[in-house]
Amino acid sequence: MYMKRTFFIASLVVITLASCRSATDRIKSSDDVASGTEAMMDELPAISFVEEFHDFGEVQEGQVVEHTFTFTNNGQGPLIISNAQGSCGCTVPDWPRQPIAPGQKGQIKVSFNSKGRAGRQDKRVTLTTNAVPQSKVLNITSTVISKEQ
């Protein structure tokens, strides 16, 4: 009985040590993971704008004004703008739907409709891209002069 128990305990110890060894072989070092992440980051697109803010100044109520924001893909991969959303229905963006190659430029046209508005207006367009960070915000402002004035 004593011999069987000793053999059983010794077998458990050997199995436990063997399984620990194989588990550590499967774990990647943090250096391997970091270098893989850096390699992926090097291949991503990067969006940079000439300007991220535009002031239309004073506009008459009912007037529709437009501004074009120019950007460059400064990254290593194709830039995709999957969505551009105005902060309200009066702010409408028009953006390129096709991928922008590294080093290439693109434009986003933003229209602001001042109908039914008065006073200072601060609006934004939020872009969703495949760059890091994924979100980019463009801002426009104006002062709408009411027709009654």
Q: How far is 145 from 147, CA to CA, in rounded Å?
A: 7
DSSP 100: B
Q: Which amino acid is at 90?
A: C
Q: Which fold has domain 47-145?
A: Immunoglobulin-like (2.60.40)
Single pTM value for the model: 0.72
Q: Which residue, among 17, 127, 32, has the nearest Cα to 79 in the 3D structure?
A: 127
For residue 99, whether the previous peptide bond is cis, meaning omega lies within 30 degrees of 0, is: no
pLDDT tens string 59-106: 999 999 999 999 999 999 999 999 999 999 999 999 999 999 999 999
Side-chain half-sphere exposure of 89, counting CA atoms within 13 A:
3
Question: Where exactly are the structural domains of the chain?
Answer: 2-42, 47-145
pLDDT tens string 109-135: 999 999 999 999 999 999 999 999 999
